[in-house]
Amino acid sequence: MVNKIAVLTSGGDAPGMNAAVRAVVRKSIFHELEVYGVYHGYDGLQRNIIRRMELGSVADIIHRGGTMLQTARCLAMLTGEGQARAAAALREHGISGLVVVGGDGSYRGAQALARHGLRVVGVPGTIDNDILGTELTIGFDTAVNTVIEAVSKLRDTASSHERAFIVEVMGRNCGDIALRAGLGIGAETIIIPEVPYDLDEIGQKILRGVKRGKNHSIIIVAEGAGDAREIGARLHEIAGVESRVTILGHVQRGGSPTAADAVLATRMGAKAVEALMNGESEVMVAAWHNDIILRPLDLAFAERPPFDRGMYDLADQLAI
Ligand code: F6P
């Protein structure tokens, strides 16, 4: 029986992580469990920075970006020694269940803790939307909205100056932010790691647009698909159009969660507590067909999540 639960956030922060932490804490207290917050991700866990959480510990955070528990990318958690230290810290507090809010790298740490006898549940928190088995990850919707807002501002200046803008967005090896934002803002071209691209063709497309009177172009590049500066320089050579490169960077990770992310995070955090109460372990919560379900944790590293080719083709068809 799990009666002491801890929650940590790990990896890159994502808007909505706070809402997930709040849900874990309040749902646990509702069910009369003791709940603890681990600060600074796995790094803090190894250093035993663990504090008892009360209802008020998570007051006024549901709408805030970042993570009140803070986060880290912790290499030591890849080592047997680090994992043993982390498990010992939890045991010292009598904690037997851990909720890990983060990406697939963070789930590897959770799996290691399961080998030390702890019950672990993953909650997908990453703006990249790159976790297999869940249709959405916490923070993705907010990041897409941030990109759309930024690109619509760039569009104003792009059309005033008749320029092409190459906009690099985050997403490591996953083009979902670029794809969703590109479709939502009507980008002329979306360059993502999942689809091979030909810069000559893209250059010709820009030229066709210029010929029919278009006064700007927006090219969204996912960071994993190539260097935006090099792509910009090459397109300038091919199409001869004046261009500028904007790298949106970490602005995409900040800001208040959208309503969709705050609700998703809240439902996922609560589901994680239910899972631990029901004796589950090595599972992750997942958004699936408008429901929140449980999936095996190792599914997250089984393969890359499927890419929505239909959405990509639609964006392409509409940007002729
Ligand atoms: O995984 C989330 C993410 O924002 C990726 O999109 C990006 O490549 C990476 O984190 C950046 O990591 P860091 O904040 O460590 O530079």
Q: Which pLDDT tens digits describe the chain residue by residue (320 residues)?
A: 789 999 999 999 999 999 999 999 999 999 999 999 999 999 999 999 999 999 999 999 999 999 999 999 999 999 999 999 999 999 999 999 999 999 999 999 999 999 999 999 999 999 999 999 999 999 999 999 999 999 999 999 999 999 999 999 999 899 999 999 999 999 999 999 999 999 999 999 999 999 999 999 999 999 999 999 999 999 999 999 999 999 999 999 999 999 999 999 999 999 999 999 999 999 999 999 999 999 999 998 877 788 899 999 999 999 87
Atom of ligand 1 nearest to the CA of 73: 15
Take atom 14 of ligand 1 and give the residue whose Cα is closest.
12
- Read out DSSP for 100-134? EEE-HHHHHHHHHHHHTT-EEEEEEB-TT---TT-
Rg of the chain over all Cα atoms, to the nearest angstrom: 21
- Site to probe by mutation for ligand 1, drawn from 67, 170, 221 as the one with most ligand atoms within 8 Å of Cβ, is 170
Q: Which of 13, 43, 104, 128 is catalytic?
A: 128
Q: For ligand 1, is residue 194 a contact (CB within 6 Å)?
A: no
Q: Quote the pLDDT of residue 304.
A: 77
Ligand 1 centroid–CA 13 distance in Å is: 9
Tracing tokens 């091979």 back to the chain, one arrives at: 196
Q: Is the CB of 126 under 6 A from ligand 1?
A: yes
CATH numbers and ranges of domains, the chain: 4-139+257-301 (3.40.50.450), 141-253 (3.40.50.460)
Cα angle 264, 167, 311 (rounded to 5 degrees) comes to: 55
**Cα of 289 vs its chain's centroid, Å:** 19
The reply to whether ligand 1 has any atom less than 6 angstroms from the CB of 121 is: no
Ligand 1 pocket residue status of 131, Cβ below 6 Å:
no
Question: Nearest to residue 271, comparing CAs of 287, 256, 292?
Answer: 292
Q: Is 22 in the pocket of ligand 1 (CB under 6 A)?
A: no
In 3-state terms, the chain is what percent helix, strand and coil (to 5)? 50, 20, 35
Q: Are 170 and 127 in contact (CB under 8 A)?
A: yes
Tell me, using a 6 A CB cutoff, whether residue 254 lines ligand 1. Answer: no
CB of 127 closer than 6 A to ligand 1?
yes
Instruction: Specify the pLDDT at position 155.
Output: 96
- Closest atom, ligand 1, to C-alpha of 103: 1
Annotated active-site residue 128? The verdict is yes
- pLDDT at position 274: 98
pTM of the model: 0.97
**Order of strands across the sheet that contains 283-288:** 50-52, 34-38, 4-9, 97-102, 119-124, 283-288, 291-296
Q: 285 alpha carbon to ligand 1 midpoint, in Å? A: 22
